[in-house]
């Protein structure tokens, strides 16, 4: 019996899939078109930028701002809560869901990376990949250049120092720094 699910179905279910699937390629092209429009829009045209982000993303909260350039795989897998600010150069590789809470502060050059690839060379050569969701809790501050790896949840009110690489969940109300990021104190 064959598996009738599409590669998109597999991706959305968090199962291995092949990224160059024609449907996924079309959805990625849509995101590239919208991010290009966003990234080249008049920086003073806040209404246009809000409209583009609302069309691109799975959710875009009231009074939130994402400064271009912004890059993502699909857009509809990323949600941004209310009153959140993302500085220049946010990358959201949203193969799995990326959930950013309310009142989050994101420094320049932050990368939210959900994609995973097989360790075995054969499946990797055959273009299989998967993904794990990322959750950024309310009132989190991610310093400039932070990298958040697949499957990570960062609890509310946590601060992650600039340049840190977050490879495992962080609890609420802590300061974490380093590569890999380690909790250095409670708030």
How far is Cα 176 from Cα 125, in angstroms, rounded to an integer? 36
Cite the active site residues.
117
Task: Please list, residue by residue across 56-71, b when 16 or more beta carbons sit within 10 angstroms of its beta carbon and e when fewer do.
Answer: bbeebbeebebbbebb
H helices of 57-138, in order, are 121-125
- Helix 22-40 × helix 46-56 angle, to 10°: 170
Query: What strand order describes the sheet that includes 70-72?
Result: 70-72, 90-93, 111-113, 147-148, 165-166
| Contact yes or no for 134/121 (Cβ under 8 A) | no
Cα dist. 145→4, 106, 107 in Å?
A: 41, 9, 7
């Amino acid at each position: 019996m064959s598996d009738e699910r599409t590669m998109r179905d597999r991706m959305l279910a968090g199962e291995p899939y092949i990224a160059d699937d024609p449907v996924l390629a079309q959805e990625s092209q849509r995101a590239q078109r919208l991010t290009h429009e966003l990234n080249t829009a008049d920086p003073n045209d806040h209404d246009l930028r809000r409209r583009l982000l609302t069309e691109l993303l799975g959710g875009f909260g009231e009074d939130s701002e994402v400064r271009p350039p912004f890059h993502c795989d699909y857009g509809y897998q990323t949600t941004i809560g209310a009153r959140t600010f993302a500085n220049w150069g946010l990358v959201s590789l949203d193969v799995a869901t990326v959930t950013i809470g309310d009142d989050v502060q994101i420094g320049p050059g932050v990368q939210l990376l959900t994609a995973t690839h097989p360790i075995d060379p054969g499946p990797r050569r055959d273009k299989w990949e998967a993904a794990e969701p990322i959750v950024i809790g309310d009132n989190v501050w991610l310093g400039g250049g932070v990298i958040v790896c697949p499957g990570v949840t960062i609890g509310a009110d946590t601060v992650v120092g600039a340049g840190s690489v977050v490879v495992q969940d962080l609890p609420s109300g802590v300061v974490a720094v380093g590569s890999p990021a380690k909790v250095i104190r409670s708030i």
